[in-house]
Amino acid sequence: MAAPGRLRRLADKAIPSRESIATNRWLKPVAGRVMHASLWRFTRRSVPRGVALGMLTGILVPMGQIPASAILALPLRANIPAAAATTFLTNPFTTPPLWIAAYGLGSWMLGVHVGRDVFEGDAAAWLGWLVHHGGPALLTGLVTLAVAFAVLGYVGSGLLWRWWIVRKRKRRLQHRGTGV
C-alpha cells in the first residue's frame, strides 16, 4: 500500500488547484462562483457530498468526469477536490470489471439472458439484442451501482471523518492531561 504522503503528492498533481482554475481562460466567466471558499474547504458536510458526487460522475459520466463533478458540485455545495479525486475510482483498470458487474446486475434485475443465437446471428440480430436487452441491462446496472457506491461513499467518508475528529480530540486531551 502506498504511503499517505505519496498519495497526497499524486492527488496534488492530478487534481487542479484553485489557482490553476482561477487563471484558466475558459473558466474566467464562472471563476467567482467556482472559487467560492466553501467549495474548497474540507468540512464534515462538504467532503461526503463530494465523495458521493465523485462516485456518481465517475461511474455514470464516460468522459470529462472531473469537469462534470466540479460543475455539479456548485449547486450541491460539495467539496470540489473530494469530488474530483473520487472520480478516479473508474480508470482503465477498474472500468471493465465495473461494466461487467453492472451488466450482470442489470440483466439479473431485468431478467435479461444471453442466448447463443445472439452471437450466431447476423449483425442486425446482435444490434437488436444490444438495443433492446443488453443496453438497458447495462444502464440499469450502472445506475444501480453508481447510487450504491455514492451512498456507501457518503456514509463511509462521514464515518471516517468522525473517526478522524474523535481521534484528534483524544490526542489533544491526552496532551493536555500530561501537561506537555
Q: Round to whole Å and give the CA distance between 96 and 20.
A: 32
**What is the domain count for the chain?**
1
Q: What is the pLDDT of residue 39?
A: 75
pLDDT for the residue 176: 79
Q: Which regions in the chain score pLDDT beneath 50?
A: 1
Distance CA 113, CA 120 (A): 15
pLDDT of residue 116: 63
Q: How far is residue 120's CA from residue 98's CA, in Å, rounded to a whole number?
A: 26
Cell numbers 464534515 correspond to 44
Distances (CA, A) of 151 to 67, 93, 146, 156: 21, 23, 9, 8
Strands (E), the chain: none
Range(s) of the domain holding residue 19: 4-178
Per-residue model confidence (pLDDT) at position 48? 93
Q: Which pLDDT value is given to residue 131?
A: 76
